[in-house]
C-alpha cells in the first residue's frame, strides 16, 4: 500500500493516479531489477472481489502491454463512467470520458467478445474502466519516464496515450459487484448496504474470504439493547441503546438511552484511561454520551459526543462545511470529523 506523501523532491501531494506511481517509481525500478515482469496497479477506494490471478493470466495470454479491468455497463449508467471501445480481439481502440448523445452511442461494443453471455451483452452494450491495471513493467516505466513524464492520470492520459503509441492495450471483463467508494455518499451507502439480509457484497464468502487485521480485542458487550439490521465490531460497550440499520465500529462506547439509525460509527483507535480523559474539558470521553440521537451520519474515529446531543440534520441541509465545529454535511449526510469534540446538548 503506497500512501500519499510529501517529499523533497517532489514537494507536492499525489496529483493523480499515474503521478502517485511516478513518485514511488524508485520502488518499482528495484522490483524490475529483481526480475519482476508485470505490475498490478490497484486503487485503494474500490469495493469488489476479484481473482487477480485470472486477470494477470489474461494479460499474459494476450501478450498485452497494458490490460484494463472493464465492467459491463447498461445505457442508463454508462454516461457516468469513462468508456472504452474494443475490436474483435478485445484490444482497446478508443476511449470516451463520460460521453452523452451520439458520442455515447458510438461507444457500444459487442461484449460477448470478452466472455459475456449473449443476453447479458444485450443488456450491457458498454464497458467502463474500473481504474485497475496490469502493466508490463518495462512499458509502464517507459510511459511514465519517457513518453508522458508530466501526465498525472492513468485513465485519461497514460492509457489513451499508450493506445495512440501503438501499444497492445487489452480489456479484461469483470462481471461482478464493484463500487467506487471515493465519495462520502458512496462510502456511506456501501457500508450500510452490508447490513442488508442478503447484501450484494458479502464478507461471508467461504470461497473468497476477506481478512482484516487481528487486533485481539474482547467481544462486544451489549446491555439491554434493541439492535436490528446492524453490524457490531469487536470491543464495543453499548448500554440500553436502540440501534437500527447501522454499522458500529471497534471499541465504540455508547451510553444509556441512545438511538442510532442509518449511521456508521467508526469507533476508536484505542481505549482511553481516566487520566487521559481528565485532560479534556469536562472529561468528555471518547464515544457517544447518554441520551443522544444520531441519524444518517458518519462518526469518524475518536470522536467525543457529549450527552443529550442530536445529530439529525434537523434543517435537512445538503451541503455545509463546519470543520471548525467538528462536522461537515455532504449529500445530506452528517460527517463528524476524526478526533472532534461535540459538546453536550448540541443539535445539528
The predicted pLDDT at position 297 comes to: 98
Give the chain's count of helices (H) and strands (E): 9, 26
- DSSP for 18-61 reads HHHHHHTHHHHHHHHHTT--EEEE--SSEEE---HHHHHHHHHH
Q: Are 117 and 101 in contact (CB under 8 A)?
A: no
Calculate the CA 241 to chain-centre distance: 29
Mean pLDDT to the nearest integer, 97-111: 93
6, pLDDT greater than 60:
no
The cell numbers describing 261, all together, are 439509525
Give yes or no for residue 108 having a pLDDT over 80.
yes
Q: What residues contact 330, with CB distance under 8 A and at least 6 apart?
A: 183, 184, 185, 319
Contacts of 64 (CB under 8 A, 6+ apart): 134, 136, 168, 169, 170
pTM to 2 decimal places? 0.85
pLDDT at residue 143 tops 80: yes
How far is residue 38's CA from residue 31's CA, in Å, rounded to a whole number? 10
Residue listed under C-alpha cell 434543517: 315
**What distance in Å separates the CA atoms of residue 53 and residue 275, rounded to the nearest whole number?**
51
What is the C-alpha to C-alpha distance for residues 312 and 346, in angstroms, rounded to an integer?
11
> What does DSSP say about strands 226-228 and 126-136: parallel, antiparallel, or unpaired?
unpaired
pLDDT digits (tens, 9 = 90+) for 182-218: 899 999 999 999 999 999 998 888 888 888 888 889 9
pLDDT tens-digit map of 34-73: 889 999 999 888 999 999 999 999 999 999 999 999 999 9
pLDDT band at 272 (very low <50, low <70, confident <90, very high): confident
Amino acid at each position: 500500500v503506497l500512501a500519499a506523501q510529501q517529499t523533497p523532491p517532489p514537494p507536492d501531494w499525489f496529483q493523480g493516479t499515474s503521478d502517485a506511481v511516478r513518485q514511488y517509481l524508485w520502488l518499482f525500478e528495484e522490483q524490475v531489477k529483481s526480475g519482476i515482469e508485470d505490475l498490478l496497479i490497484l486503487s485503494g477506494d474500490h469495493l469488489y472481489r476479484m481473482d487477480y490471478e485470472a486477470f494477470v493470466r489474461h494479460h499474459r495470454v494476450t501478450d498485452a502491454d497494458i490490460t484494463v479491468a472493464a465492467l459491463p455497463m447498461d445505457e442508463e449508467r454508462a454516461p457516468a463512467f469513462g468508456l472504452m471501445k474494443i475490436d474483435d480481439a478485445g484490444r482497446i481502440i478508443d476511449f470516451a470520458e463520460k460521453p452523452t448523445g451520439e458520442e455515447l452511442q458510438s461507444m457500444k461494443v459487442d461484449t460477448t467478445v470478452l466472455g459475456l453471455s449473449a443476453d447479458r451483452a444485450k443488456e450491457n452494450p458498454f464497458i467502463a474502466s474500473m481504474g485497475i491495471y496490469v502493466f508490463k513493467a518495462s512499458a509502464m516505466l517507459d510511459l511514465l519516464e519517457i513518453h508522458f513524464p508530466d501526465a498525472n492520470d492513468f485513465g485519461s492520459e497514460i492509457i489513451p496515450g499508450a493506445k495512440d503509441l501503438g501499444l497492445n492495450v487489452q480489456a479484461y471483463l469483470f462481471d461482478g459487484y464493484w463500487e467506487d467508494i471515493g465519495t462520502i455518499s458512496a462510502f456511506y451507502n456501501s457500508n450500510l448496504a452490508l447490513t442488508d439480509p442478503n447484501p450484494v457484497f458479502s464478507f461471508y464468502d467461504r470461497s473468497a474470504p476477506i481478512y482484516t487485521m487481528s487486533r485481539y480485542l474482547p467481544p462486544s458487550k451489549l446491555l439491554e439493547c434493541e439492535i436490528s439490521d446492524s453490524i457490531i465490531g469487536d470491543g464495543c460497550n453499548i448500554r440500553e441503546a436502540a440501534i437500527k440499520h447501522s454499522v458500529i465500529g471497534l471499541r465504540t462506547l455508547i451510553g444509556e438511552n441512545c438511538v442510532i439509525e442509518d449511521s456508521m460509527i467508526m469507533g476508536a483507535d484505542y481505549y482511553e484511561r481516566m487520566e487521559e480523559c481528565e485532560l479534556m474539558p469536562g472529561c468528555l470521553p471518547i464515544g457517544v454520551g447518554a441520551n443522544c440521537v444520531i441519524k444518517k451520519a458518519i462518526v469518524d474515529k475518536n470522536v467525543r459526543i457529549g450527552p443529550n446531543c442530536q445529530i439529525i440534520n434537523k434543517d435537512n441541509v445538503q451541503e455545509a462545511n463546519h470543520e471548525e465545529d467538528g462536522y461537515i454535511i455532504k449529500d445530506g449526510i452528517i460527517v463528524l470529523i476524526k478526533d472532534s469534540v461535540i459538546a453536550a446538548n448540541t443539535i445539528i
